[in-house]
Amino acid sequence: MQKAESIKQKVMPSGDTFASSCNACKQCTPLGACIAFKGLEGVLPMLHGSQGCATYIRRYLISHFREPVDIASSNFSEETTIFGGNKNFNTGIDNIIKQYHPRVIAIASTCLSETIGEDVQRLIFEYQETHNTMPDLPVMIFASTPSYQGTHSEGFHEAVFAAVKTLAEASGPVGDHINLFSNMISPEDIRHLKEIVEDFSIPVVLFPDYSDTLDNTSWDSYRRIPDGGTTVDELKKSALAYASVELGYILNSGGMNGRIKDNGTKQSAGEYLKSKFDVPLVRTGLPVGILESDKFFNALSSISGKAIPMKYQRQRGRLVDLYVDGHKYVSDKRAVIYGEEDLVVALAAFAAEIGIKPVLCASGGESGKLAGTLREVLGKNYYEDMVVGQGMSFERMEEVMQELKPDLMIGNSKGYYIARKMDIPIVRTGFPIHDRLGAQHTHVLGYEGTMILFEQIVNTLLEDKQRKSPVGYKYM
Stretch 417-446 residues interacting with another protein (CB under 8 A): 417
| Binding piece for another protein, criterion CB under 8 A, among 217-225, 345-353, 376-384, 423-431 | 217-225
Over the window 387 to 416, marking each residue x when it contacts another protein by CB under 8 A and - when it does not, the resulting string is --------x------------------x--
Q: 43 near 102, Cβ under 8 Å?
A: yes
Per CB under 8 A, contacts with another protein among 333-372 are 364
Gyration radius from the chain CA atoms: 22
Per CB under 8 A, contacts with another protein among 293-312 are none
Helix (H) or strand (E) holding 139: strand 139-143
Binds another protein (CB under 8 A): choice among 68, 175, 280, 368: 68
- 104 Cβ partners below 8 Å, 6+ apart? 40, 41, 42, 43, 44, 138, 139, 140, 141, 232
Least distance from another protein to the Cβ atom of residue 176, Å: 35
How far apart are the C-alpha atoms of 370 and 408, rounded to whole Å? 21
Least distance from another protein to the Cβ atom of residue 87, Å: 8
Closest Cα partner for 450 from 313, 248, 289? 289
Total number of residues that touch another protein (CB under 8 A): 82
Least distance from another protein to the Cβ atom of residue 455, Å: 28
Nearer to another protein, 72 or 354 (CB): 72
Least distance from another protein to the Cβ atom of residue 211, Å: 17
The total of other beta-carbon atoms located within 10 Å of residue 354's CB is 22
Binds another protein (CB under 8 A): choice among 11, 18, 277, 456: 18
Cα dihedral across residues 297, 301, 307, 310: positive or negative: negative
Nearer to another protein, 77 or 121 (CB): 77
Binds another protein (CB under 8 A): choice among 171, 218, 265, 469: 218
How far apart are the C-alpha atoms of 104 and 140, rounded to whole Å? 6
Least distance from another protein to the Cβ atom of residue 171, Å: 33
Nearer to another protein, 114 or 234 (CB): 114
Over the window 118 to 157, marking each residue x when it contacts another protein by CB under 8 A and - when it does not, the resulting string is ----------------------------xxxx-x------
Nearer to another protein, 125 or 148 (CB): 148
| Binding piece for another protein, criterion CB under 8 A, among 105-113, 177-185, 232-240, 333-341 | 105-113
Q: How many CA atoms lie within 13 A of 21 on its CB side?
A: 16
Over the window 44 to 63, marking each residue x when it contacts another protein by CB under 8 A and - when it does not, the resulting string is --x--xxxxxxxxxxxx-xx
Helix (H, G, I), strand (E, B) or coil at 210: coil
- 367 Cβ partners below 8 Å, 6+ apart? 250, 253, 254, 255, 256, 257, 341, 390
Nearer to another protein, 403 or 435 (CB): 435
75 binds another protein (CB under 8 A): yes
Q: 144 near 114, Cβ under 8 Å?
A: yes
Least distance from another protein to the Cβ atom of residue 50, Å: 4
287 binds another protein (CB under 8 A): no
74 binds another protein (CB under 8 A): yes
258 binds another protein (CB under 8 A): yes
Beta bridge partners of 107: 46, 142
Per CB under 8 A, contacts with another protein among 191-210 are none
213 binds another protein (CB under 8 A): no
Least distance from another protein to the Cβ atom of residue 41, Å: 19
Closest Cα partner for 357 from 341, 377, 334, 338? 334
Give the orientation angle of helix 269-277 with respect to helix 152-167, to 10 degrees: 30
289 binds another protein (CB under 8 A): no
Per CB under 8 A, contacts with another protein among 219-248 are 219-224
Q: 44 near 72, Cβ under 8 Å?
A: yes
How far apart are the C-alpha atoms of 348 and 341, rounded to whole Å? 10
Of the chain, the end-to-end C-alpha distance in Å amounts to 43
The DSSP bridge pattern shows strands 387-389 and 408-411 to be unpaired
Nearer to another protein, 152 or 316 (CB): 152
Binds another protein (CB under 8 A): choice among 6, 9, 77, 466: 77
Q: 447 near 311, Cβ under 8 Å?
A: no
Nearer to another protein, 125 or 219 (CB): 219
